[in-house]
Every structure is written in C-alpha cells, then in structure tokens.
Structure 1
Amino acid sequence: MNTSTAPRGVRLIITLTGRCNAGKSALINALVDQEVAIVSGHPGTTTDPVGKHYELHPIGPVTFFDTAGMDDFGTVGLQRMSATRKVLRRTDVAILVATEQGMQQEEKQLLKELSDLNLPVIVVFNKSDLSTPSQADLEACSGHSIVTVSATTGENIDELKRFIIATAPKELIEDPLLVSDMVSPDQTVLLVAPIDGAAPKGRLILPQVQVLRDVLDSNAMALTVKETELSAALNTLKEPPALVVTDSQVIHQVAEIVPDSVPLTTFSTLFARYKGDLPKLVHGASSIDDLKDGDKVLMYESCSHHAVDDDIGRVKIPNWIKKYTGKELTFELFSGHDLPENLEDYSLAIMCGGCMSNRSEMMRRIRDLNAHNVPATNYGVAISKVQGVLERVIQPLGM
C-alpha cells in the first residue's frame, strides 16, 4: 500500500515529544531520511505538529509526528503544547526525546503523562555524539524501552526503528478481522448498500468497499444490491447466502426480509469489531435503556461531512432514540480527531463507525469515555439496539 494514499485509518501513528531543542526535528528527519522538519537551535521552531508518511517495514504505512517542545510556555506556547497533547491522544507509539542533559524533571513529568495515557513509550537519548545517559537517567526510565542515538551522525537510527516495530501494539500490526472468519471460499455474501442522500455520488462508502474487498480476498462471492432489490436477490440465489451484511439504517427492513436461518449483521457492527471493542460498544448500547429526561447524549463523528436533511447523526439516530426511550433528551454533535473536554456532561456517547480512524484511536476514545464514566457505543450498534435486532446482528460475530 502506498504510504501517501493509504487511508489515515490504517496508518500507525508515531509521535516524537520532548522539550524544546531536544532534537526531535533532526530525529524525525533521520528516521525518514528526508528534510521534512525545520531544524534550528532557536526554541519554538516547531509550532504545529508536522506529520510525515513513511513505509516502515514490516509494519507498513506509518505517520511520524514532530511536535512542539513541552516546555514552551507563554500564551502561544501553551496553545502549542495543547496541540501536541491532542496528537498524543491519537498516538500508537510515543517517542520521548531527551536532551544531552538527561532525564530532568520535565522529562520525568512527560514520561508520567505518557504512561497515564497507556501509551507504549520509547525513551530516546539523543545526541549520543555529545553525551551518554547516566545510571540515574536509565533508572528514571525503568520499565520503558531505551535507545541512545545521534540524529546528527545517524548512530542507532536503524536500532530505533527496530524498537518501534517491537513496541507497536500487536493488534495494530496484525490484520484485524473484518468478515473473513465468517465466510469460506465459494460461499456467497449478500451486501445491502442503500443509496441515499448521504452516499458519495458515484462511489460506495468506505466500510462497504472494505467489506467487499475482504469478501473477495476470502475467495468468496459478493452480491451487492440496494434494499429494494433484496427480496429478488434472495430468490435468485440457488442456496441461501452464507452471510448478509447491510447498512444499519435499513436493518429493520432487511431483518424482516432475510430468513432467521441466514446470518445477518451490519457494516457498522463489523467495524465495531474491526476498529474498536465490540463487547464494550454493545454494553454501552444497553445504557440507552437507562437514559432519563434531560440527559445529554454526545454524537461523535471523527471526520466532518456535509450534513443532509435526514443526516444519520444529527437527525435519524436522535429521533429513533427519542422514540425508543420516550424521554426528553438533548443530542450534541461533535466532530474532529479529539473528544470534547466536557465529557462529564454526557450520559452516553454514540460514535460514528470510525472508517477514517485507526484502531488505536477508537480504543483510546472508548477508554477515555469510560474513564469519565460515560458509556460508549457506535452508530450501527445503537441503531440495532433501538430497532430491536441487536442480538441477531452480533450473533454471527460469536456474541
């Protein structure tokens, strides 16, 4: 997969952080063997996080982020540090770059902050051509991977890459399961893809494309229809399909057509397992039953899009949940890479399918919400819950 065209949701994110003048920019240039970041001895040279796509064998496409120094104070400096922390919240591997002064109080505090985020951390003592870490420095990093490098001479840069490969979360390197474990070669999978106002003109949405490709990679046969042609498609097949996958928005209609003997699930449910933690998202959906008058529900979308009149997150799901619960609820939509700051205000968070997020981002959002005692689910699981078919759509996934 080309590093520049790989979807953002399948790239491993590796972020370099540390104090000003620790050599982060020089180190990222050495890692990718290109001049992608400005190197200067003047503090505060790096302002906004700078990302560089790279092919790191055998992991594949990754993105390295260079960030502002975490001791960059003042009004602008605090904004720069805030931007760095936002990147760290969606990071898969953090590289803490220490200066030739070793592990000072700032590095120790930052290491604690990274550990609190449950991030795998590699501590890099840069500028090995000028100094080496002391025993006290090494003890301060106990429990973390440690590498001594020189971004200037290139010493141990390849060793650092090997540490990144070894440190990366295994579930982000291994191919996650989408649909391949549910079908066998020569079986037929029926995909139901409604074409509504939110569908991109001339294209299918990314989850539909990825499921279709996974079916083909499994040497199975895929038949794709709109919901209006579903009955005709079922009657055309000589044998029942091994699996039916539908868009969540028409799950109630599709469930009435597809015989109970045929496994049925949704694209969003598959992505809940592929990108996140399906059991936790299913458990989060049960909290819909606990909503009370006046509760706030967070509708979270990881990317922005043009809203249509019957937008799924703004209109359809809120209306379905209000009808299901009979409660007076407030729904607030938030878009972007990061969750809002006021999580404690919400009784439930319903996230999009995360087709443009990687698994680490999705897992981190779930953990962040749970840490604030906010149950989390996703669009498709919530829809299946209020449509009364959740047990059926999770059954093919072994739940």
Structure 2
Amino acid sequence: MYMENTPQVSRLHIALIGRRNAGKSSLLNAWVGQDVAVVSDVAGTTTDAVRKAVELPGLGACVLLDTPGFDDTDRQLGRLRIERMQTAVEQADIVVVVASGVDLTEEEREWTVSLRRKGTPWMLALGKADTIADAEQEAERMGRELKVPAVAVSAWKRTGLDRLTALLLQLLPPDFGEETITGSLAKEGDRVLLVMPQDKEAPKGRLILPQVQTIRELLDKRCIAVCCTPDKMGEALASFHKSPELIITDSQVFPQVFRQKPADSRLTSFSVLFAAYKGDGRVLRRGAESISLLTEHSRVLIAEACAHVPAGEDIGRVKLPRLLRKRIGEGLQISFVSGRDFPQDLSPYQLVIHCGACMFNRRYVLERIRRAEEQGVPITNYGMAIAHLTGILHQIDFG
C-alpha cells in the first residue's frame, strides 16, 4: 500500500534507452508483467516516454521509463522524439542501455560516452537474447569491454529479468533516498510552526505538495508541528509556552513572517528547504547573490516544474517578476518555461530562477543545475531569490 502512495518524484527512476526495435518496450512489459508499452515490429512505435510505477525486489518503489529510439530519422517527429528521450535520461537515476546486437552501433557508443561524461550510473542489457547465439557469454564480453554490468535478456522467454534487477541494485546510488527535507534544522521534540498562505495557487481543499511532504517528515521525526495562515501567526506563537525552534513559511510572505519571528527561532521556507532536498543549496544560494549583478539589459529565465495555468498573483509569473523589476528596473527581460521544457542553451540568460521543483526528482533538478553551471549561468530558486530581494537571505537557515 505504501508503494502505491509513494510520490513519483521520490521513486528511483530507471530509463530504458536504445535504438528503435531494440526490444525496450517488450522488456518493460515482461519486467512488470503487464502490457504497459505498445509493442510492434514497426520502427518508432514508441513516440514518447512511457512511465510505469512499480515495486522491484531490493530496489523498492521505482518508475520505469520506456523511451523512443535514439536513432529516429523521421524528419518531422524524429527530433521531438529524441528530445523526449533525452529528457527521460536527464530524469533517470540509473539508465539501462538496451543493445540491438552483439556489436554496438555508433549511436549506441555515443550514448555510452555521454552517460559516462555526465556521471549517470548505467548498465547494458543485450536485448532479444533468444535470437542470439551464446547470448549470455556475449553480454559478459560486452560488459567487460565497456566496464559496466551487463546481462542478456529475453522478453519472449522472460529470462535475465531477475539478473537485471540484481545488477541494478549494485548501481543504486549509496545515498539514494537518504536526503531529508528539513535536514538538521528539525529533530525529535522540536516545536515547528508552519506559516502557510492559502491563496488562489493552493488547490481548494488540499495542501500543495511541499507542505504535505514537509508536515509528514516532521511527524516522522516526532516533532510537534503547528500550522497556521500568515494572519494567524501571532495567535499561533502565543499558543507556545516558549518560542518554536523552527518556523517554515512560504517565500512570498518572508518579510511578513520575519517581522513577527521571535529572535531565538530559526526561519526558513519550503522553497529554500527544497533547494537542498532536490538540488544543491550552495549553488542556488550563490545564484541568488548574483541578482546584485543584474542590469536593465539582463535576461532572466524563470522555470516552473508544474505546467499549471497561472491564476491571480502567481508567484512565478507575477510576484517574482515584480520584485525583480522593482530592484533592477522595468527594462529587465524575463522569459518563462514550464514543465519539462528547459533550454539546452542557457547562454542568452544572466540568471535562471527555478521553482522549488516539488514535481521533479532530485536527479533531474541536479541535471538542470549542472547544465547551468557548465554554461557559466548562475541559477537559484524562488525562495532564495525572494530572500535576497527582501534583504533577509543572510538571516535564513539553510540546514
């Protein structure tokens, strides 16, 4: 039951990549015991990443990603399909390269080099093993040459699947799943006040995901969690017999909460917490400090993880741009992307400001941070940017 309720962003993401008709979709179906992906002898049947949440022995709650072939040559859709495959790879904690034969093609070799360069854990699966003589020996040979785990698999005969799972367990990042949202900021017995505005961006009758996940973690840590809206913060503080050890709030009400905060209480925000939980807090903090270098001729990219329709005083589309232009000038150019749309080339921008990324897994956020760093473009997130713009970045606790 727990697996069914595990958010996709908290699961181990495993991507299957390879040439068209290498057997990726058949392997996925055999692995999960269901017809999840469409299988056909026609090359290019898989046109978008197919996702399946599963429970794998030893690995726990996972998301398996079946991807389009990276050798797609269709003039109109091929480029788009390959981009979708690349996005799936960026999200993957582990990649399985499904080989189409005993001798790797040029495209297959190029992808193995790319995975090594990015530091992505990966392994080789020799697909359609039932059609290859001495498939197990060939897989072992290929693995030795590539210096990665390798296995021969047959979706038709359902062989090699247990071995595939066992090898993936060896590739599991040692610290996977050990990150916590509140880190060292909260421990058992601490009193934590959560100040949470419930505006138009909060779905009626529900809490947004960062709030839900943070509250659950505080309960798991055996903390005493008290929740209120900003207008009730004074009354909530009065209910404590002494100051709470920690106050967590929303970035957009930082200044209001900071003014009421007891001097001996630490203050942070959901967005700041998620900066370290999902990415690299130190890099994102440096990015916030680079706001001071922007001019009216600068360009800023604001990236949102969820593709929602902006409503009212949207923090990313309205409030943050307003704060930036008030500080930098009305001539500041601001662009927006949402969901999995994120430019490969970030060089036109002097700063990237990302949301808290509660809808993305950690690997995907780190890949975006890596891309920005490689191109020399500062990157930060909503919470840190707002803390800098309101002059309290140095007074925020980062864990």
Q: Secondary structure at the match of 2:397?
A: helix
1:187 aligns with 2:182: no
Unpaired stretches in structure 1, ≥5 consecutive residues: none
The code of the aligned residue for 2:121 comes to: P
Alignment of 1:1-399 (within 5 A): 2-75=2-75, 76-129=77-130, 130-131=132-133, 132=135, 133=138, 137-138=142-143, 140-142=145-147, 144-171=148-175, 173-179=176-182, 181-326=184-329, 328-394=331-397, 397=399
Q: Secondary structure at the match of 1:343?
A: coil
Q: Secondary structure at the match of 2:301?
A: strand
**Structure 1 pair 140/77, CA: closer, same or farther in 2 (3 Å)?**
farther
CA contact (8 A) 1:11 1:63 kept: yes
Segment of structure 1 superposing worse, 380-389 or 56-65: 56-65
**Structure 1 pair 117/238, CA: closer, same or farther in 2 (3 Å)?**
same
1:235 CA displacement: 2.1
The code of the aligned residue for 1:47 comes to: T
1:17 CA displacement: 1.0
The code of the aligned residue for 1:81 comes to: I
**Structure 1 pair 180/68, CA: closer, same or farther in 2 (3 Å)?**
closer
The code of the aligned residue for 2:46 comes to: T
CA contact (8 A) 1:102 1:134 kept: no
CA contact (8 A) 2:266 2:397 kept: no
1:139 CA displacement: 5.0
CA contact (8 A) 1:301 1:351 kept: yes
The code of the aligned residue for 1:69 comes to: G
Q: Secondary structure at the match of 1:383?
A: helix
**Structure 1 pair 178/227, CA: closer, same or farther in 2 (3 Å)?**
same
1:3 CA displacement: 4.7
CA contact (8 A) 2:15 2:64 kept: yes
1:326 CA displacement: 4.4
The code of the aligned residue for 1:223 comes to: V
**Structure 1 pair 197/77, CA: closer, same or farther in 2 (3 Å)?**
closer
Q: Secondary structure at the match of 1:62?
A: strand
1:348 CA displacement: 0.2
**Structure 1 pair 92/77, CA: closer, same or farther in 2 (3 Å)?**
same
TM-score by length of 1: 0.92
CA contact (8 A) 1:89 1:117 kept: no
In 1, Cα distance between the equivalents of 2:237 and 2:180?
26
In 2, Cα distance between the equivalents of 1:79 and 1:238?
59
Q: Secondary structure at the match of 2:347?
A: helix
CA contact (8 A) 2:102 2:139 kept: no
Deviations 1:232-277 (A, max 9, x none): 2222211211111111111111111112221111111111111111
Segment of structure 1 superposing worse, 46-55 or 297-306: 46-55
In 1, Cα distance between the equivalents of 2:102 and 2:364?
33
1:146 CA displacement: 1.9
Q: Secondary structure at the match of 1:89?
A: helix
In 2, Cα distance between the equivalents of 1:215 and 1:3?
20
Unpaired stretches in structure 2, ≥5 consecutive residues: none
Segment of structure 1 superposing worse, 204-213 or 51-60: 51-60
Q: How many residues align?
A: 394
In 2, Cα distance between the equivalents of 1:187 and 1:74?
58
1:332 CA displacement: 0.8
Q: Secondary structure at the match of 2:198?
A: coil
Deviations 1:172-224 (A, max 9, x none): x3331212633333331111011222221122211111111111111121111
1:379 CA displacement: 0.3
Segment of structure 1 superposing worse, 31-40 or 188-197: 31-40
In 2, Cα distance between the equivalents of 1:236 and 1:105?
67
CA contact (8 A) 1:108 1:140 kept: no
Query: Identity over the aligned pairs, expressed in percent?
Result: 38
1:5 CA displacement: 4.3
